[in-house]
Amino acid sequence: MESLVRADLHTDLGSANEEQRWKAASHLGEFVERAPEAVWGLVAQWGCSDHEDTRAAVASCVLEHLLEHHFASVFPRVEELALADPRFADTFCWCWRFGQSDQPANGARFESLKARLVARGAPGGAHGGRHER
C-alpha cells in the first residue's frame, strides 16, 4: 500500500463525516489480501478509536477480513491488543467469523477470546458472532 494512499485512509478514518469514515474503511479492506501488514497498522490504531462508529467500520470492513484471510498471523496480535485495550476489545467483538476464522480450531480460539472479553465487560453479546450462510 503506497504511503499516499495510507495517509489518505488515515485522514479519512478520522473524519467527522460518517460516510467518509465507512468509505475509508471499505477502501482499506481492499488491501487485506495483498498488504496485510500495512492494513494491520491502521486497524491497530483505528480499532482503538474513541469513536464507536469508527471501531465498527474497522471491524466490519477490515478486521474480520484480516482474520478471514490471515488468521494465523493476525489473531495473536488481535488477542494481545483486545486484552490490553477495551476499545479494541469492542472492535473485535463487532467481527463475524468466516473464512479461516470459521475453521474449527480457529473458530474455537475466536470464540474463546470473545468470551473472555465479554466476561471483562466488552459488549460481545450486543454485536458480532458467527456468520451464518
Of 111, 112, 123, the residue nearest 86 (C-alpha): 123
| pLDDT tens-place string over residues 48-59 | 999 999 999 999
Compute the distance between CA of residue 22 and CA of residue 105 in angstroms, rounded to an integer.
Answer: 31
pTM, two decimals, is 0.89
Compute the distance between CA of residue 63 and CA of residue 25 in angstroms, rounded to an integer.
Answer: 10
Compute the distance between CA of residue 52 and CA of residue 32 in angstroms, rounded to an integer.
Answer: 22
Determine the pLDDT at residue 12.
85
| pLDDT tens-place string over residues 66-90 | 999 999 999 999 999 999 999 999 9
Domain range annotation of the chain: 3-121
